[in-house]
Amino acid sequence: MTVRELAESGIAAAICEGDRMEREITVPFCCDLLSIAMGKAPEGCAWVTVMANMNTLAVASLADAACIVLAEGVHLDAAALQKAAQQGITVLGTEQPVFETALAIYERMKAG
């Protein structure tokens, strides 16, 4: 499943469309602590988290995640949103909890 397909799947909606919407998602990944995510997030993952700030963006970009999925309806502030747009980072959002979101992504990926 590509990032764009995820954004159109109904699982989560785009808050910011980045540069690489056609990138293939490798796996969902869940974590809210930044340096654990930095060390463990697989390349190309859909990173599901409730931590929404500038540092989340930096970690996603440097660890090379395919996109950030903000769960539980958490929001980026205006400055962070602007930075995501500037850096071409895709951010999606959903009201669902972290586990349900990651599971839905996983199941959609398995279904092909």
Ligand X SMILES: Nc1ncnc2c1ncn2[C@@H]1O[C@H](COP(=O)(O)OP(=O)(O)OP(=O)(O)O)[C@@H](O)[C@H]1O
Q: Which of other proteins, ligand X, none interacts with 59 (beta carbon under 5 to 8 A by kind)? A: other proteins
Shorter beta-carbon distance to ligand X: residue 35 or 86: 35
Other CB atoms within 10 Å distance of the CB of residue 59: 22
Nearer to ligand X, 1 or 57 (CB): 57
Phi, psi (degrees; rounded to nearest 5) at 53: -155, -175
Residue 43 corresponds to which amino acid? E
Cα angle at 27 between 26 and 28, to 5 degrees? 140
* Residue number with CB closer to other proteins (11 or 89): 89
Which residues of the shown chain bind other proteins in the complex (CB under 8 A)?
32-36, 38-39, 43, 51, 53-56, 58-59, 61-64, 79, 87
